[in-house]
Amino acid sequence: MKNLIINTTFALALLVANSASAITIAGHDFAATASSATGSADTFLNWNPALDATGISADQLNSDMTDNNPGTYVFSSAADAYIDVGFGINNVYNGAGYDLALFFVGDGGHTGNLVLSDTGQSMAFTTPTYTGLFIDELFNDDQGNPVQSPIYVSLFDFDDIALDGQTALNNFRLEIGGASAVPSLMAAFHTSPTMTAVPLPAPLLLLASGLFGLGLLRRKK
């Protein structure tokens, strides 16, 4: 568990603002955020491992990853650490532009894999982008100054794995071993299927062009 104080430079509303149509987080509008998160909880540690060397509780892991607040997060030093994330009543679909976002707290050097558990496909974390937001940790550096940690986001486009717009996704696994990623929140841009244009078979195209040609001849006559 990492209990954090959002830096007063940024209003909480700038991080998270709920409306009837969207959830706005760090300047991005989402249709839904994750509603469940489970994993090998004993591999995830508190901000100070000396205080919590046995790991956080499963309830705290779930809370930190689903509270719509990118400033609460978990981390692990275990090489095989993972988190399984679900979207509950919402399915996630491939739509126009980015489809999924994963927020991190840290230095931007986050690595790992996003596994689409429903299809078995895998995507490497994209290069994180600094959101312009940061948090004040509940601990100080060696000089007694508050430690500030920036908030980053990785954006995923399912076009990169040729996923159609009709496949419903609900379950994802974050493989974040080796303490190289510090996840805090997952959110989806699209929760409705996207209709894709179906190409006409060649015979139908020939028929359509023939009818069009006949129509032109009749007009000339």
Lowest mean pLDDT among 113-122, 156-165, 177-186, 198-207: 198-207
- The Cα-based distances of 162 to 20, 77, 94, 138, 157 in angstroms read 31, 33, 9, 43, 9
- The Cα-based distances of 20 to 17, 24, 127, 145 in angstroms read 10, 11, 31, 40
pLDDT higher than threshold 60 for residue 46: no
Quote the pLDDT of residue 11. 35
75: domain CATH number?
A: 2.60.120.260
Q: Which residue has the higher pLDDT, 74 or 77?
A: 74
What's the angle, vertex CA 139, arms to CA 186 and CA 176, rounded to 5? 30
Range of the domain at 59: 5-220
Quote the pLDDT of residue 43. 66
Q: What is the arithmetic mean of pLDDT over 171-198?
A: 84
Q: Which residue has the higher pLDDT, 147 or 128?
A: 128
CA atoms within 13 A on the CB side of 47: 18
Quote the pLDDT of residue 145. 82
Mean pLDDT of the chain: 78
Long-range contact set of residues 51-57: C-beta below 8 Å, sequence gap at least 24: 52/1, 56/1, 57/1
pLDDT higher than threshold 60 for residue 143: yes
Closest CA to 16 of 2, 1, 38, 33: 33
For the segment 92-106, what is each residue's pLDDT rounded down to a tens digit?
999 999 999 999 998
Q: From CA 205, how far away is CA 135, in angstroms rounded?
A: 59
Residue length of the chain: 221
What's the angle, vertex CA 25, arms to CA 79 and CA 151, rounded to 5? 45
Contact yes or no for 28/16 (Cβ under 8 A): no
The total number of structural domains that make up the chain:
1
